[in-house]
Structure 1
Amino acid sequence: MGCSRPIGMIYGKARVCAFDGAYYCYECHENDENVIPARIIHNWDFRKHKVAKYTKLLLDRIQEEPLFDLGRLNPSIYGVVSEMHDILALRRRLNFLKTYLFTCKQSVADELRKQVWPREYLYENVHLYSTSELLQVESGLLQQTLRRLVAYCMKHVSTCPLCTQKGFICEICHNPKVIFPFEVSTTYRCDKCQTVFHSDCMNELKPCPKCERRKKRQQNVDTIDYAYVPDSEA
């Protein structure tokens, strides 16, 4: 938004806003500087660029809002930027862990919500970020926050009699040690049935034994239904 004042030629040199690429007069563009979210997301560029006054106000207003879904805007960033790769792993672990705490005692769930509020999307949508959080990635602050939350949740799960009963025994090797889906570096979770295995025992290229059993049972049911013919129709 500008004042509609003529610019260029005899009216004075125009100033370009790095956010919207539009031209502004010297009163609407006073060379304020700000990071540009799109430059961070697509170029990992945290430099401040000159923006118009209205743009500066807008960017300041939305800085804490979780508006950017990196899973849709630039999913390749996780394979290029090591910090984002690490944060994605932490947020996925937190997503698994919160399921355990939320199905535990109400006081446990409330305490986790209290620690995360008002940024519940950190464990609900692992790809969602605000401009402020992208800046915290660069400074290392977001990594510290997520590691603290993951450590808190893991400590609870490992010592809680209820949560420890919700683990899995690997069906492939039958190792009696319980495994959990939040152990992302050593486990594999089936996308269909959510069963957890050791990553050394199972991957997406191998058939899941639980899914195979379900498939076989369904085939048996379908065979029985097909073979049965009521007396009235015989």
Structure 2
Amino acid sequence: MEETVTCLFVCSAACGFCTHAKCLGLITRKCAAIKVCDNPTYLMSVCCERGLSSQSYRCAECRTKIGFQRGLPEARQCDYNGDYYCDMCHWNDTAVIPARVLHNWDFEPRKVCRASKQFLRLLFPRPVLHIQQINPMLFSYVEELNDTKRLREEIIIMKRYFLSCKAALDSKLLLQLQPRQHFVETSDMYSMKDLVDVATDVLLPELAKIHASIAQHIKTDCQVCQLKGYICELCDLREVLFPFDSIALVCPQCSTVLHRHCYMQSGRHCPNCERLSRSTS
């Protein structure tokens, strides 16, 4: 029996689009991987209802006539961008919508067109969401997200100790965050994967464990790092403080570390700032 070979074209740009080689000329959709590279940002407005007349009753992608009457391809709305598509361009796939997550903490999957599905899948692990700029109130509303933010900020502070400690670099503790490399670089940016992992109670326990192991190195295991601690100048306690301790506060002017409660009781008075002020006057 003669073997039949079907020639396929698979996009090498990471989007995974697959088609017959002979059908390449029929493709009208822009490669999702190229869209991600050109503009790696999400639409941040929640999809709203609008009529088919806004698209002249045609599919937003292939321009086929669509509608809700017999004889016409079914018009299907994409919950990501709000456009309507034919059943060839919209297969009723579902995805978590970033705008609904950022504005409503809503992770219910909703129907999206094929192009949106591919785009959202490729952008899913990328840290492109600056929550503080988009919806800072979300940290007050979602306790787990706020705890994640605090741990990330403290890990960034801990990183300064590691960069000047050979034993810390040799221990490669920061490599525990390699799957989320952006956590070592900044405390502000999040990926959709991060937010899904927060909502499913995956990220916070993982991050707390890493935070604890790094803190143990600095405060207990390493004498070099221990010597870089601070003593509060506002009280008689000889307790060694570190900038990432929950009971500590870093002076916003000179970066001196003090007990949080001592600083507040003193009327936000910093002894080091006072000395600096006297020396320059």
Fold shared, TM-score > 0.5 on shorter chain: yes
Give the share of equivalent positions with the same residue, in percent.
35
How far apart are the structure 2 equivalents of 1:96 and 1:3? 51
Q: Which residue of 2 aligns with 1:175?
A: 237
Instruction: Note the 1:58-207 alignment, pairs <5 A.
Output: 58-105=119-166, 108=169, 111-157=172-218, 158-184=220-246, 186-203=247-264, 206-207=268-269
SS of aligned partner of 1:33: strand
How far apart are the structure 1 equivalents of 2:91 and 2:145? 34
SS of aligned partner of 1:26: coil
Q: CA deviation at 1:76?
A: 1.1
Give the gaps of 5 or more residues in structure 1.
220-234
Q: CA deviation at 1:14?
A: 1.1
SS of aligned partner of 2:240: coil
Which structure is higher in helix share? 1
How far apart are the structure 1 equivalents of 2:256 and 2:182? 25
Aligned partner (choices 89, 93, 99) of residue 38 of structure 1: 99
Q: CA deviation at 1:193?
A: 1.3
Higher relative contact order (CA 8 A, sep 6+): 1
Under a length normalisation based on structure 1, what TM-score does the superposition of the two structures give?
A: 0.87
Q: CA deviation at 1:98?
A: 1.6
SS of aligned partner of 1:162: helix
How far apart are the structure 2 equivalents of 1:131 and 1:52? 19
Instruction: Give the length in aligned residue pairs.
Output: 218
**AA aligned opposite 1:7:** I
How far apart are the structure 1 equivalents of 2:279 and 2:167? 37
**What value does the CA root-mean-square deviation take over the aligned residues?**
1.8
Segments ≥4 residues shifted beyond 4 Å: none
Aligned partner (choices 50, 62, 76) of residue 3 of structure 1: 62
User: Do the aligned residues in 2 keep the contact of 1:32 with 1:56 (CA within 8 Å)?
Assistant: yes
SS of aligned partner of 2:205: helix
User: Do the aligned residues in 1 keep the contact of 2:242 with 2:257 (CA within 8 Å)?
Assistant: yes
